[in-house]
Amino acid sequence: MNNSRWTSVLLVTACVFAVGGTGFLLDDTPLHCSVRRSISPCTCSYFTGMVRPRIMVICQKMVSFESVIAALQNKFDAVFDYMLNIEYSELHDLDTRRFNELGFPIVDLKLTNNNLTTLPDEAFIGMNRIRILYLSDNRLSAVPTQIFKHMPSIEVLNLARNSIHSVASGDFLILSLMNTFVMATNNLTDITNGSFPTTLRKVQLGANNLTELNGNLRNQKDLEWLFLDDNRIKTLDGELPIDNDKLIVLNVSNNALGHLPPELNCLKALRYFYCTFNQLTGLNKTLSKSKKLVWLELTGNRIQELASDEFEEATMIEVLELSNNCIKHLNKSLLALTQLSEINLSFNKITEFSLAEIKGLKELKLVDLSHNAISKLSGHSEIISEPVTGVEHLKLDHNELDSLGGSLIGITTLSKLNISHNKFTDLSPYHLTGLNLKILDVSHNLLHILPDSSQIHLPALETLVASYNVLTSLSKDFHGYPVLCHADLEYNSIMSIREELVDMTLCKLHGVNSTLRIYLEGNPVLCDDNTRLVTKAMELKHAEVSGIAKCVPVTNDIKYNMTDIDTSAITVIVT
Ligand SMILES: *[C@@H]1O[C@H](CO)[C@@H](O)[C@H](O)[C@H]1NC(C)=O
Ligand SMILES: *[C@@H]1O[C@H](CO)[C@@H](O)[C@H](O)[C@H]1NC(C)=O
Ligand SMILES: *[C@@H]1O[C@H](CO)[C@@H](O)[C@H](O)[C@H]1NC(C)=O
Ligand SMILES: *[C@@H]1O[C@H](CO)[C@@H](O)[C@H](O)[C@H]1NC(C)=O
Ligand SMILES: *[C@@H]1O[C@H](CO)[C@@H](O)[C@H](O)[C@H]1NC(C)=O
Ligand SMILES: *[C@@H]1O[C@H](CO)[C@@H](O)[C@H](O)[C@H]1NC(C)=O
Ligand SMILES: *[C@@H]1O[C@H](CO)[C@@H](O)[C@H](O)[C@H]1NC(C)=O
Ligand SMILES: *[C@@H]1O[C@H](CO)[C@@H](O)[C@H](O)[C@H]1NC(C)=O
Ligand SMILES: *[C@@H]1O[C@H](CO)[C@@H](O)[C@H](O)[C@H]1NC(C)=O
Ligand SMILES: *[C@@H]1O[C@H](CO)[C@@H](O)[C@H](O)[C@H]1NC(C)=O
Ligand SMILES: CC(=O)N[C@H]1CO[C@H](CO)[C@@H](O)[C@@H]1O
């Protein structure tokens, strides 16, 4: 994953829940407030740096609303704005007192984690300065519509993690300034049409039980973020906002969508689209006009193939996640994606991969083709004229390959190649010629020999993983890897090792001479008395062999009589 990209997306997600609340406090240093002592057990901090300085008051584990009022009443100067959080408290007497008895203006009220089941509307009388209201993490079973009439200035409303079943027509209409609505993790099955004001910019309805949206978001022209993930929505046809050129993030992952709504094409601003774990069988060119799209996740669908013009104008896509689908053919659909930096096609049904599918994609760094059924790599002749891509990391593990077929020749940017769990019986030195590999994983294959040391030259190879093969001896095998530092050869059938193995290597870490580590656990050679002498000699040449020998103690004359097969059988017996 490209780190900076990830951060930006995670930030987007994080912000949904931080809107208004703590988000704007980030670059603001809280100061102690003078009344700190007299409001115990509540605490307060003073924030400058905003248009109007604010005071944040936090009360936790209060035994009653009465005790909140007793602690805070008339302790604060009304010229400031106040944020009040009452959490983990017992507020059974909410109906006997009112927030406005506190005597200071609250703009941001958070009543979270209080086990609230209902909210008496009298408590909120006169709270018309409130812009942010959090009622999340309670046990509300219905929308507390009755309280909204006292708080017409609400811009941010958070009802997440309650047990609300339905939203009735008009429930939120009175909140004509509301721009952020969070109702994730409730038990919503139904939202009656016409429930929201058309001012919404951020909507989070994830983790509910919604099967349809009833046209509720149709007229949200200013909608920027829409999270509908983890519901049971079967179709979004006719549900997406029309004439909307603001929607940037759309998450409909973990639903039951069988196809993408055609109107997706009209969301001109869409940059991040998540539609993982649905039941899409194809894209039907629905995203072909998404010119601003940079991040597309479609993992866990049933997509079988992509049309050649699938992404025709979606040329800004940088990250494309298509793992866990049923893709057999790419049909050169990726060639339009000139900004593509990462593609994940793991767990699909590709049997042959042509490098021509990624020809000319210069920004492409990571290609994951693992867990397919690829038995043939092709396309080399098509790309030889022009350096194919900027690919740095190619994952081809868990496929059916027995040859690279020369397909990688000329990809000078490639530094990490994983062809573990395939069917290689040998590696042709020719197929690795000219590569600047730093890491090569050929473990879990059928290699009985490493590439001929007189023919292979991987001048940058630092890590070689060749465990779980059937290598039998090591002599000049590392001569083609002058800077090797890490050689994992565990669980082979190596019976002999020669000192000359490390004659041509010099491991350097950050330019400083360092030790080449050779891992040999699970090889018969560790039970050979001679090995100790060889490894001692290697230590003088900056190489260190490691691995715990698992041999039954055998006297020399028994050992002397053993055939090769007997020896390997013995090493399997763990002492
Ligand atoms: C809320 O209810 C839960 C379970 O009924 C209980 O464990 C918890 O102590 C209650 N919290 C408060 C603040 O009353
Ligand atoms: C969704 O509804 C189904 C059936 O009505 C129910 O079994 C399930 O528990 C509900 N899911 C949630 C998260 O409430
Ligand atoms: C959600 O609602 C459904 C039916 O509306 C009900 O069967 C289920 O138990 C509810 N789940 C929760 C977690 O409240
Ligand atoms: C929902 O209401 C909007 C505006 O009132 C209307 O345009 C739309 O057709 C309605 N949708 C449905 C499914 O009733
Ligand atoms: C989208 O929804 C899925 C499923 O809930 C979740 O795992 C993922 O983190 C969400 N992505 C973003 C960016 O919110
Ligand atoms: C594909 O899109 C076309 C044009 O929008 C539409 O007519 C067709 O029904 C769609 N096919 C599928 C399988 O969704
Ligand atoms: C590709 O997707 C698979 C399955 O979703 C995941 O396990 C793997 O880590 C991804 N590959 C990369 C390089 O991120
Ligand atoms: C190669 O892929 C396998 C399977 O995903 C993984 O276990 C292994 O760590 C990878 N090798 C390297 C050197 O990253
Ligand atoms: C590093 O090792 C090489 C070869 O053994 C030797 O010529 C060189 O002097 C060493 N450098 C240092 C700083 O020890
Ligand atoms: C080893 O083999 C020799 C010749 O085959 C035999 O004379 C000797 O008894 C054997 N030793 C043991 C311990 O089996
Ligand atoms: C949609 C599309 O163009 N599919 C083609 C992808 O490539 C395969 C194999 O060449 C064809 O059989 C499909 O028709």
Q: Of 323, 416, 417, which is best to mutate to test ligand 7, by the most ligand atoms within 8 angstroms of its C-beta? A: 323
In this prediction, residues 302-313 reach a mean pLDDT of 96
Q: Of 115, 116, 163, which is best to mutate to test ligand 1, by the most ligand atoms within 8 angstroms of its C-beta? A: 115
**Residue-level pLDDT at 384:** 53
Range with the lowest mean pLDDT among 182-191, 308-317, 404-413, 548-557?
548-557
DSSP structure string for 242-310? SS-----EEE--SS--SS--GGGGG-TT--EEE--SS--S--TTTTTT-TT--EEE--SS---B--TTT
Closest C-alpha among 375, 474, 351, 371 to residue 424: 375
Closest C-alpha among 190, 182, 146 to residue 161: 182
Range with the lowest mean pLDDT among 15-19, 36-40, 67-71?
15-19
Closest C-alpha among 388, 390, 424 to residue 405: 424
- pLDDT tier, 368 (very low <50, low <70, confident <90, very high otherwise): very high
CA atoms within 13 A on the CB side of 161: 11
- pLDDT tier, 555 (very low <50, low <70, confident <90, very high otherwise): low
Q: Does residue 26 carry a pLDDT above 60?
A: no
Calculate how far, in angstroms, residue 474's C-alpha sits from the geometric centre of ligand 2.
61
Q: 432-475: per-residue pLDDT in tens?
A: 988 999 999 999 999 999 998 889 999 999 999 999 999 999 99
**Residue-level pLDDT at 524:** 93
Burial category of 512 from C-beta neighbours within 10 Å (exposed 0-12, middle 13-18, buried 19 and up): exposed
In this prediction, residues 44-58 reach a mean pLDDT of 84
Q: 84-134: per-residue pLDDT in tens?
A: 999 999 999 999 999 999 999 999 999 999 999 999 999 999 999 999 999
**Which two structure tokens, joined as six digits, stand for 451?**
């590439």
**Which two structure tokens, joined as six digits, stand for 350?**
């590709």
Contact 418, 394 (CB under 8 A): yes
Euclidean distance between CA atoms 461 and 445, whole angstroms? 19
More confident residue, 52 or 268: 268
- pLDDT tier, 390 (very low <50, low <70, confident <90, very high otherwise): confident
Q: 395-421: per-residue pLDDT in tens?
A: 999 999 999 988 888 888 999 999 999
Q: Does residue 547 carry a pLDDT above 70?
A: yes
Q: Architecture of domain 30-164 in CATH?
A: Alpha-Beta Horseshoe (3.80)
Establish whether residue 558 lines the binding site of ligand 10, counting it when its CB lies within 6 angstroms of any ligand atom: yes
Q: Does residue 68 carry a pLDDT above 60?
A: yes
Q: 193-242: per-residue pLDDT in tens?
A: 889 999 999 999 999 999 999 999 999 999 999 999 999 999 999 999 99
Domains of the chain: which residue ranges? 30-164
Euclidean distance between CA atoms 113 and 87, whole angstroms? 5
**Residue-level pLDDT at 33:** 79
In this prediction, residues 352-376 reach a mean pLDDT of 95
Mean pLDDT, the chain, whole residue set? 89
Establish whether residue 416 lines the binding site of ligand 6, counting it when its CB lies within 6 angstroms of any ligand atom: no
**Residue-level pLDDT at 553:** 62
Closest C-alpha among 529, 510, 509, 534 to residue 518: 534
Q: What atom in ligand 6 is closest to the CA of residue 260?
A: 14
Tell how far CA 185 is from the center of its chain.
21
Establish whether residue 232 lines the binding site of ligand 2, counting it when its CB lies within 6 angstroms of any ligand atom: no
In this prediction, residues 539-547 reach a mean pLDDT of 93
Q: 257-276: per-residue pLDDT in tens?
A: 999 999 999 999 999 999 99
**Residue-level pLDDT at 261:** 96
Max Cα–Cα distance, the chain, nearest Å: 98
Q: Does residue 15 carry a pLDDT above 60?
A: no
**Residue-level pLDDT at 37:** 82
**Residue-level pLDDT at 51:** 73
**Which two structure tokens, joined as six digits, stand for 363?**
């920004």
| pTM of structure | 0.88
**Residue-level pLDDT at 8:** 42
Ligand with smallest separation from the Cα of 283: 6
Q: Is 377 helix (H, G, I), strand (E, B) or coil?
A: strand
Establish whether residue 262 lines the binding site of ligand 6, counting it when its CB lies within 6 angstroms of any ligand atom: yes
Calculate how far, in angstroms, residue 513's C-alpha sits from the geometric centre of ligand 9.
6
Measured CA distances, 150 to 100, 139, 319 (Å): 11, 22, 46
Calculate how far, in angstroms, residue 166's C-alpha sits from the geometric centre of ligand 9.
74
- pLDDT tier, 561 (very low <50, low <70, confident <90, very high otherwise): very low
Q: What percent of the chain has pLDDT over 70?
A: 88
**Residue-level pLDDT at 361:** 93
